[in-house]
């Protein structure tokens, strides 16, 4: 009995020690679990491949919006491309329609650019510039040896002769007719004004048959003249003659001059 009394304090102490040991073990296990969860790879949150059962990543993706722009997908795989974020593949017919619409937009843009480039030369210059051998663009006027001021009357006359001679011809053919008049203006072999060049005897048939007086220039003729005055050349600077081989009664030019090119129904010579 004396021994029991002497060691009666040992039982409570042992109980306390056991409780402490169990508590420390439980705490260590909880810490390890949290650490493992924190260090788990993010790929575990993505879709589960071929499995038909949604993975944890699927369920989390649903929670965040069921798309590949969710924070979970971006964290696991990086920033998605446009293919990743397309909701569903479109039928071939719809893809073709979308492609056609895109092409139409591109074509419309190109047409606007062409129209803009054409409108840039719709304003005719009041002064044109020459060297002894060629007509210059407005940008090259510093290289000129002489210049010519185009009056409003002569501008209209030039538009009318282009209309009268080349109404049914391609646009480049109209430019070429204007080039011929301006080439003659530059050349020492022809008169020194646009009006005198056009009205020179037996040179332009619309002057003789009265068609020049009757015509009113259309938009193509106006645009072609303005282009020629701005330096656009459909034929070279030494081209001073043209005729229609099917309509002309006098073929002297055809037999005596060197052919340059044919545009539409007109053949041009130097």
- 182 and 236 in contact (C-beta within 8 Å)? no
CA distance 132 to 145: 7
Confidence (pLDDT) at 84: 59
Long-range contacts at 205-212 (CB < 8 A, ≥ 24 apart): 205/165, 206/161, 206/164, 206/165, 207/161, 211/164, 212/160, 212/161, 212/164
Per-residue pLDDT of the chain (270 residues; tens, 9 = 90+): 555 455 566 667 777 777 777 777 777 776 676 666 555 554 444 444 444 444 444 444 444 444 555 555 565 566 665 555 555 666 777 777 777 877 877 777 666 655 545 444 578 999 999 999 999 999 999 999 999 999 999 999 999 999 999 999 999 999 999 999 999 999 999 999 999 999 999 999 999 999 999 999 999 999 999 999 999 999 999 999 999 998 888 899 999 999 999 999 999 999
Confidence (pLDDT) at 260: 97
- 111 and 158 in contact (C-beta within 8 Å)? no
Query: In the sheet where 241-244 sits, what is the strand order?
Result: 241-244, 266-269, 259-263
**Shortest CA distance to 156 belongs to which of 136, 130, 178?**
178
Confidence (pLDDT) at 54: 47
| Alpha-carbon separation of residue 178 from 218, 229, 235, 254 (angstroms) | 14, 8, 10, 20
Does the model's pTM come out above 0.85? no
Give kind and range of the element (H or E) at residue 262: strand 259-263
Q: Which two tokens stand for residue 151?
A: 């009056």
H helix count then E strand count, the chain = 13, 6
Confidence (pLDDT) at 268: 98
CA distance 44 to 120: 62
Confidence (pLDDT) at 72: 57
**Domains of the chain and CATH, by start:** 127-269 (1.10.10.2520)
Strands of 40-179 (E only): list them. 127-130, 135-136, 146-149
**Shortest CA distance to 241 belongs to which of 192, 193, 200?**
200
Q: Which two tokens stand for residue 78?
A: 């990086």
**Shortest CA distance to 55 belongs to which of 36, 38, 42?**
42
Confidence (pLDDT) at 184: 98
């Amino acid at each position: 009995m004396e021994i029991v009394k002497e060691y009666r304090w040992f039982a409570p102490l042992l109980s306390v020690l056991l409780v402490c040991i169990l508590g420390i073990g439980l705490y260590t296990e909880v810490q390890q679990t949290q650490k493992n969860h924190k260090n788990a790879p993010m790929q575990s949150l993505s879709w589960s491949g071929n499995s038909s059962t949604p993975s944890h990543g699927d369920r989390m993706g649903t929670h965040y919006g069921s798309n590949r722009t969710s924070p979970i997908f971006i964290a696991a795989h990086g920033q998605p491309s446009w293919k990743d974020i397309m909701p569903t593949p479109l039928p071939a017919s719809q893809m073709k329609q979308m492609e056609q619409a895109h092409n139409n937009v591109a074509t419309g843009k190109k047409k606007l650019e062409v129209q803009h480039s054409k409108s840039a030369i719709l304003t005719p210059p009041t002064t044109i510039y020459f060297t002894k051998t060629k007509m210059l663009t407005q940008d090259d006027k510093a290289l000129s040896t002489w210049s010519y001021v185009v009056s409003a009357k002569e501008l209209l006359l030039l538009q009318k002769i282009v209309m009268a001679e080349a109404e049914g011809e391609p646009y480049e053919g109209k430019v070429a007719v204007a080039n011929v008049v301006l080439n003659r203006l530059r050349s020492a072999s022809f008169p020194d004004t646009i009006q005198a060049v056009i009205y020179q005897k037996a040179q332009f048939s619309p002057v003789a048959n009265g068609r020049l007086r009757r015509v009113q220039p259309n938009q193509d003729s106006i645009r072609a003249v303005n282009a020629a005055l701005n330096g656009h050349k459909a034929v070279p600077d030494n081209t001073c003659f043209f005729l229609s081989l099917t309509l002309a009664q006098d073929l002297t030019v055809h037999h005596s001059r060197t052919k340059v090119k044919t545009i539409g129904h007109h053949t041009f010579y130097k």
